């Protein structure tokens, strides 16, 4: 248990609940990828969809409802009115402008803060006991915005953060080593974006510490090789956006994995965007990704993993970048 530090609001899970309702706000590429992975994995009993574009919303709802004979059986509903979200255990926010080719995530912040001022209070009004899972970009800044606007405790406002970056990282290593990505453990922390930090010191493959293994086997590698691999992680989203215009499937699966840990109280560890104040020498109330244990109550604890001096310095730099963005927000 001492591996983890608590954050305000964390605690034991409540009595087991029998039915679960999930809301997805924004039925664009990402929202629908989330909806469909959640439905096919039978993660909720009721799914509510919300968007401002009424026809598209209704079309997406009907299209999913028509798959009833092939799905496990969740009730699917949709409306532009947030009443439809009432009693949600989990609200996933994917609404908002997305990156264009070459545009950084941070450039989206102003547009999406304006949308959040409308969305977040309505979600909390109809589901005061909900957990918020923020996906819209820039996800770290918007998770902070959602925390401020919602009045919810920090353990119930989570950003998908580097859960996806870490999957890209594990996939690249797995592909290189010809092993299954689920046997590669490694985290990207910090910003979901350009200043993210790869925690090379704790990467392991099948339980074997990766860098120590390379040294032991006298396999040559240079810092440049590691830097290049991390760059491929950072550039991953830009590459997909350049090729197909948006990203959707990987974020959909990443979100479903978080939903499973949350609603099924799985207590798995995911790198997600949390309030990082007090961790690794970070003094500001800034949101960025750290590996966290996730269960029914949201964030149960943040893994206090030992970092090298360099990793710690990089993480603090990422925190400074995000603090500067947060300071400029009009909330």
By CB under 6 A, name the binding residues for ligand 6V0.
Answer: 25-31, 50-53, 94-99, 108, 115, 118-119, 135-137, 139, 160, 164, 192, 246-247, 251
> Residue 64 CA to chain centroid, in angstroms?
24
The number of C-alpha atoms within 13 Å of 299 and in the hemisphere containing its C-beta is 31
Which position's Cβ is nearest ligand 6V0? 28
Which stretches of 13-111 are assigned E, i.e. beta strand?
21-25, 46-50, 75-78, 90-93
Catalytic one among 192, 230, 270, 280? 192
Pick between residue 53 and residue 62 the one whose CB is nearest to ligand 6V0. 53
In angstroms, the CA 170 to CA 199 distance is: 12
For the bound state, the minimum distance from the C-beta of residue 299 to ligand 6V0, rounded and expressed in Å, comes to 17
280: tokens are: 């690794």
Pick between residue 94 and residue 261 the one whose CB is nearest to ligand 6V0. 94
Instruction: Determine the longest span between alpha carbons in the chain, in angstroms.
Output: 62
For the bound state, the minimum distance from the C-beta of residue 165 to ligand 6V0, rounded and expressed in Å, comes to 8
Pick between residue 27 and residue 276 the one whose CB is nearest to ligand 6V0. 27
The answer to whether 185 is a known catalytic residue is no
Of 287, 273, 276, 264, the residue nearest 312 (C-alpha): 276
For the bound state, the minimum distance from the C-beta of residue 93 to ligand 6V0, rounded and expressed in Å, comes to 8
For the bound state, the minimum distance from the C-beta of residue 97 to ligand 6V0, rounded and expressed in Å, comes to 6
Pick between residue 28 and residue 153 the one whose CB is nearest to ligand 6V0. 28
The number of C-alpha atoms within 13 Å of 90 and in the hemisphere containing its C-beta is 35
Active site residues: 192
């Amino acid at each position: 248990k001492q591996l983890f530090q608590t954050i305000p609001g964390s605690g034991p899970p409540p009595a087991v609940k029998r039915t679960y309702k999930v809301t997805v706000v924004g039925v664009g590429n990402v929202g629908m990828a989330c909806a469909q992975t959640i439905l096919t994995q039978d993660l909720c009993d009721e799914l509510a969809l919300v968007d401002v574009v009424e026809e598209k919303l209704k079309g997406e709802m009907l299209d999913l409802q028509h798959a009833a004979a092939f799905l496990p059986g969740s009730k699917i509903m949709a409306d532009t009115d947030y009443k439809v979200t009432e009693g949600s255990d989990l609200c996933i926010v994917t609404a908002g402008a997305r990156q264009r080719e070459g545009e950084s995530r941070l450039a989206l912040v102003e547009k999406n803060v304006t949308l959040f001022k409308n969305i977040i209070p309505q979600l909390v009004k109809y589901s005061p006991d909900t957990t918020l899972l923020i996906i819209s970009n820039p996800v770290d800044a918007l998770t902070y915005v959602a925390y401020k606007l919602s009045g919810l405790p920090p353990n119930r406002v989570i950003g998908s953060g580097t859960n996806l970056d870490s999957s890209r990282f594990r996939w690249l290593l797995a592909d290189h080593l010809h092993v299954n990505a689920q046997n590669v453990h490694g985290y990207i922390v910090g910003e979901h974006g350009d200043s993210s930090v790869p925690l090379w010191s704790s990467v392991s493959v099948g339980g074997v510490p990766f860098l120590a293994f390379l040294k032991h086997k006298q396999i040559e590698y240079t810092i440049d090789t590691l830097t290049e691999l991390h760059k491929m992680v950072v550039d991953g989203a830009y590459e997909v956006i350049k090729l197909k215009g948006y990203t959707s499937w990987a974020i959909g699966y990443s979100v479903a994995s978080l939903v499973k840990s949350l609603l099924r109280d799985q207590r798995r560890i995911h790198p997600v965007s949390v309030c990082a104040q007090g961790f690794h020498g970070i003094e500001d109330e800034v949101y960025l990704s750290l590996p966290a244990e996730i269960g029914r109550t949201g964030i149960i604890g943040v893994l206090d993993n030992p970092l090298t001096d360099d990793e710690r310095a990089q993480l603090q730099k990422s925190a400074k970048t995000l603090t500067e963005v947060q300071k400029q927000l009009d909330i």
